[in-house]
Structure 1
Amino acid sequence: MRLLALTMRLRLRLTLLYSSVFAVSGAILLGITYLLVSHAAGVFYGTGQFGGPQQGDVSYNSDRLPSLPGIARELWAQGARQREGILHELLVQSGIALAIMGVFSVALGWFVAGRALRPMAAMAATVREISARNLHERLSVQTPHDELKDLADTVDGLLARLESAFDAQKHFVANAAHELRTPLTLERALLEETLTDGEATLASYRAMTERLLALSMDQGRRLEALLMLANSERGLDRQEHFDLAAVVRRVLHTSPSWIEAVLKSAPASGDPAQIERLVANLVDNAVYYNVPDGRVNVSTGVRDGRALLSISNTGPVIPQGEIQRLFAPFQRLRTERTTYDDGHHGLGLSIVQAIASAHNAVITAHAAPAGGLLVEIAFPLQGGCPPPRK
């Protein structure tokens, strides 16, 4: 509706512009014509067409009127009045013609503006019909490459991004519902089993309560991870300068001491709290998905003009095609250690990707042939992050 109103306002403005240009051009043309006719008539009536006392005169001199016959003076005065009448009639008739053409130019300008904006009207009608059920539709304006074509292509690009985001959101909601429904079903089964057990004892009730408490804590961690993912995808709340090496040191302070770290200064900008969560998730995944007596290496520094964070481990062999899947929500690497209540819900790497995207960082992940995963995240150097959202 707003696009239609914009189209009508633009058509009115174009009509006024066309009419104004025609009116100004017509007025200038009328002025030039009046000056030319006035000059030509002045030359004609100012010459000695009515004779004179001497044969060689070429122009009329009013000081010599008394020497002319009375009839010559009368003819000269009549010619001057006729000249003024002709000029007045020319001015009036030209003004009337200009006014008529001005009205006609308004109608013609409205028609021409409508023809020029017809693709925009079609775009407005198509946009009004697009909803969540048919986000796949596009404007597909087939016109020569001009400003309207650029606008249509921009809107098509916006619709494509909206369709992708909408599909991702639906997929995320479906996965979240499935993840949350499973523990609820298990809780209900435990309660029903205990209530229907006629020989239940205090010990069995206590064991059931402990399992329900563990499930509740697991759901709390899952919800916290979902909230963290949602907040990360919204962008930055604040932006300040920090050193990646200092952030990693804080995370490693509460991590296993056997992690090998080579930390060099890497100045960056953004939200240090989100970066700390990103590092913690990567370290936690590298430690958990590792082999016995394996290694975890963490390093920071500057490379190719960007602040670089690198984390690798010696975990199990990962097929190269599986790496991209691991960064999607609720996706986990299937190993013999992966259990339902292990505290890993498949959201760690998706949170990492959301935080990195909010900071304009580039993630690259490679699976080592002998096993394990190398994740490198390149951040813009200090001052290169987007401004925080309002």
Structure 2
Amino acid sequence: MSERRSDWRSRIPSVFRSVRFRLSALYSAVVFGLGGLILALVYLAVRWQLTTQTETRLFIRARELQLGQFRFLVNPQMEEAQVRTMESLINQFVLEKLAIYSLIGLGALFVISLVVGWILAGRALAPVDRITQVAREIEVSDLSRRIALEGPDDELTRLGATFDSMLDRLQGAFQSQKRFLADTSHDLRTPLSVIRSNVEVTLDDPQSTIEDWKATGEIVTRNVGKMGSMIEGLLAAARFEAGQATMVAVDLAGLVRGAADDQRAAAADVEVDLQESVEAVEVQGEPLSLGRALGNLVDNAIRVAPPGSKIEMGCGRRQGWVYLAVADDGPGFSGGDGTGLGLGIVEQVTKMHRGAFEIFSDQGATMVMWLPDGSETACPDFDPLRGRPGPMIGFNGPLAL
């Protein structure tokens, strides 16, 4: 039944479904009906007054004449001037009565239409009051309230739906921001803690040698480099978000090979084999941020990959989308795992390229950056390196700094 009603409404032209048309028709019908009623009452009142007040009773008294058994009423002979005077008096009387009843009718019409219009306008604009109330009740810390207007597809319903959609995006952005800040504080605190603990241990040891200080310096240098990489990733994402990045054609195969060359020594240190599986593909993007995101994926894979395993890096095109992917044989991800600052930056860079970041996890994990290649098809939902269907973890919505 509801589907038939919806189909019937959809066939009506949009102009006739609008609030403006409905209010105009409603007010016109109300005023027209009330005006017609008042005029009808005025007409009946004037007619009654004229039929009960004759000219002779008003102005002329007839003379009575009796002839035998018969009695006659004889009107006196009137001159033309007298007739005109009588007509003028009658017209003046009618006009005075009509003016009085018209003023009374117009006054009643004004009061009634004002009251009815107030009630009808309040009912018509009730959705606006609801939108205002919800907007006032929304707080930065709680964006869960929604307007959820119901009714025909008109301007106010579409306004409510647009407002709810905006709240969905804002809520997603704030949640991503909270998660991003939590990941940032955690990941930056780790190298700082390592630096502080090693320096304190060396300082507290009165027998520290130059070799001890050199070892501490290497630890400090390595962790400062990690923090520098994190900060560079944040700055790259911030430049992209601020619109200061230049979009150019990026050779993803060259990007993968460059990242593999940069990370091969680090992978060899933990006895992990770094392999490449690339196709010749290009995409419009910002090369520095894409390179930093890919480097973060490889860093994460090297950190969790067990010795003797392999890490596979790849790029290619599937179903109108291109991808950058890194697969490892580590422990994988569970639903409660945190993504860390590195993967948070990857998520942000992917979303800024209008893409999707997904993690496939079963035995090991495959982290995929899907980037659109001019296609309007939906993002693929499978592991392009190992052929696993369905993502274990999918990230939706832009990540806000």
TM-score under structure 1 length normalisation: 0.58
1:360 paired residue among 351, 354, 358 = 354
* Deviation digits for residues 247-275 of structure 1 (CA, Å, limit 9, x no counterpart): 43255246339854543455x44444434
Does 2:322 match 1:308?
Answer: yes
Distance 2:138 2:181 in 1: 22
Alpha-carbon offset, residue 102 of structure 1: 2.0
Distance 2:34 2:116 in 1: 18
Name the amino acid aligned to 1:249: G
Q: 1:111 to 1:376 in 2, by over 3 A?
A: closer
Alpha-carbon offset, residue 200 of structure 1: 3.6
Quote the residue 1:182 is aligned against: 190
Quote the residue 2:254 is aligned against: 249
Quote the residue 1:50 is aligned against: none
- Give RMSD over aligned pairs: 5.0
* Deviation digits for residues 128-165 of structure 1 (CA, Å, limit 9, x no counterpart): 23324544455567x65676566556545544554444
Paired residue secondary structure (1:169): helix
Name the amino acid aligned to 1:353: E
1:42-57 matches, within 5 Å, as none
Paired residue secondary structure (1:360): coil
Q: 1:241 to 1:199 in 2, by over 3 A?
A: closer
Gaps of 5+ in 2: 1-19, 48-76, 265-273, 378-401
In terms of fraction of residues, the more strand-rich structure is 2
1:377 paired residue among 344, 365, 370 = 370
Extract structure 1 runs of 4+ deviating beyond 6 A: 16-20, 30-33, 323-326
Alpha-carbon offset, residue 123 of structure 1: 4.8
Does 2:245 match 1:216?
Answer: no
Does 2:314 match 1:298?
Answer: yes
Alpha-carbon offset, residue 316 of structure 1: 1.3
Alpha-carbon offset, residue 381 of structure 1: 1.1
Name the amino acid aligned to 2:221: L
1:1-390 matches, within 5 Å, as 21=28, 25=32, 71=79, 74-75=82-83, 78-79=86-87, 82-83=90-91, 85-87=93-95, 89-91=97-99, 93-118=101-126, 120-121=128-129, 123-138=131-146, 151-152=159-160, 155-156=163-164, 158-229=166-237, 234=241, 237=244, 240=247, 242=249, 244=250, 246-253=251-258, 255-256=260-261, 259-266=275-282, 268-282=283-297, 289=305, 292=308, 294=310, 296=312, 298-301=314-317, 303-304=318-319, 306-309=320-323, 311=325, 313=327, 315-316=328-329, 322=333, 329-330=339-340, 347=342, 349-366=343-360, 373=366, 375=368, 377-381=370-374
Distance 1:182 1:284 in 2: 15
TM-score under structure 2 length normalisation: 0.57
Identity %: 25
Distance 1:239 1:228 in 2: 12
Paired residue secondary structure (2:114): helix
Name the amino acid aligned to 1:274: S
Distance 2:108 2:280 in 1: 81
Checking the alignment, whether the CA contact within 8 Å between 1:247 and 1:272 is kept in structure 2 is no
Structure ranking higher on relative contact order (CA contacts 8 Å, 6+ apart)? 1
Alpha-carbon offset, residue 379 of structure 1: 0.9
Name the amino acid aligned to 1:379: P
Checking the alignment, whether the CA contact within 8 Å between 2:314 and 2:324 is kept in structure 1 is yes
